[in-house]
Chain A
């Protein structure tokens, strides 16, 4: 029934980093990374990059629009390690030095379709008030050495952060062969599978039934939904 030679599936994600809402700061640019597990391979697109420097809108909305396109395709055998998008937003402080304004992380959506996601942004906090003052004056704020650690969640228990702002993302997700490999990612899948099973069962028993009952059961199947 299933194609047993097919063991991998593809995930195609495109979309954009639409806008950021960070009340305190005027201009920000974003560096993004796609982080995934060991079973995953990127087969097309850019795994990391950087957006333009966006300035806050000069009206009541106070949003920073990026409209930065993302496009990436992965291949995998197992949903474990599903790709995540990690973003780091940097801005300039009062002396023009680049400081971190927010980190955010989210999984790529799993089910095919269009998704709009809003993620919170947070910044690591200095340990003490004195360190906070030095960070402010020298422009060396606490930051993650590698933002990719945010995708793993380990070791976070010793950090303190401050959340400020949100990022709006939109994704279009297309998957190939997930059903063939056997994974259900949204509810409609399950009905189709049962439907297919019932149709198959009917097909194999049709021959027997025609002989024993003397009529063609196909004519009695009024609707598509299987009857138990």
Chain B
């Protein structure tokens, strides 16, 4: 059985309209994959940066998977939320990106989007705050219904990941 280690951190996020952000993250894999060690979902702390327009989380990721096949390579799913000064939270973006399939160190930037509604929704959210979010966050990952969704792009999530592979060469897999 081949093994994959994903070791690194969710470093932070930049280019969002407001900077007091936190991230709910999770990893999804195909059915042939099994998580041996590590936690595959979590939530970072809320960071309010003092100077830079960069919310720093430095959230550690350490996962050990074993797999029988290449299908369903692990993929990150992110939800970025903004917490304002009153403690209210609103959705700021969905994003997803695959774990790189090459061993070594990778710096990744995952772009995010959030759904926008009608003009009335946008005016309401301008004055009252908050915004719309997907009823079913799975829609952010699945593709079949995407054509009905109208979205606006938001900022980027920065990741620093190391990928360590084992036993793939025994199956003839090349990188």
- Residues of A that sit less than 8 Å from B by CB: 23-24, 37, 78-82, 84, 104-107, 109-111, 115, 119-122, 125, 150-154, 156-164, 182-187, 189-190, 193-194, 197
Contact = CB atoms under 8 A, between A and B. Distances in A.
Contact of A111 (B11, B104, B160): B104
B175 A190 contact: yes
Contact of A159 (B39, B45, B165, B174): B45
Given A82-B62, A107-B160, A153-B42, 6 more contacts: A106-B58, A107-B162, A109-B105, A122-B56, A150-B58, A190-B165
A164 B37 contact: no
Contacts of A193: 169
B166 A182 contact: yes
Contacts of B49: 162-164
Contacts of B146: none
Nearest to A110: B162
Given A163-B52, A164-B50, A80 B62 contact: yes
A104 B103 contact: no
Contact of A153 (B22, B39, B51): B39
B54 interface: yes
A111 B162 contact: yes
Given A80-B38, A105-B60, A163 B54 contact: yes
B68 to A, nearest CB: 17
Interface residues of B, number: 46
Nearest to A123: B50
Secondary structure class of chain B's binding surface, majority of residues:
strand
B69 to A, nearest CB: 18
A111 B105 contact: yes
Contacts of B166: 182-184
11 contacts: A120-B11, A153-B60, A157-B42, A157-B45, A161-B46, A163-B12, A163-B47, A182-B166, A184-B165, A184-B169, A186-B104
B36 to A, nearest CB: 8
Contacts of B22: 157
A184 B54 contact: no
A82 B44 CA distance: 20
A164 B51 contact: yes
Contacts of A120: 11-12, 54, 56, 58
A106 B45 contact: no
Interface in B138-171: 160, 162, 164-169
A105 B61 CA distance: 12
B27 interface: no
Nearest to A152: B60
Interface string B1-41: 00001011101100000000010000000000000111100
A227 to B, nearest CB: 14
Contacts of A182: 166-167
Given A79-B64, A187-B175, A162 B7 contact: no
B50 A162 contact: yes
Interface string B83-124: 100000000000000000011110000000000000000000
Contacts of B169: 184, 190, 193-194, 197
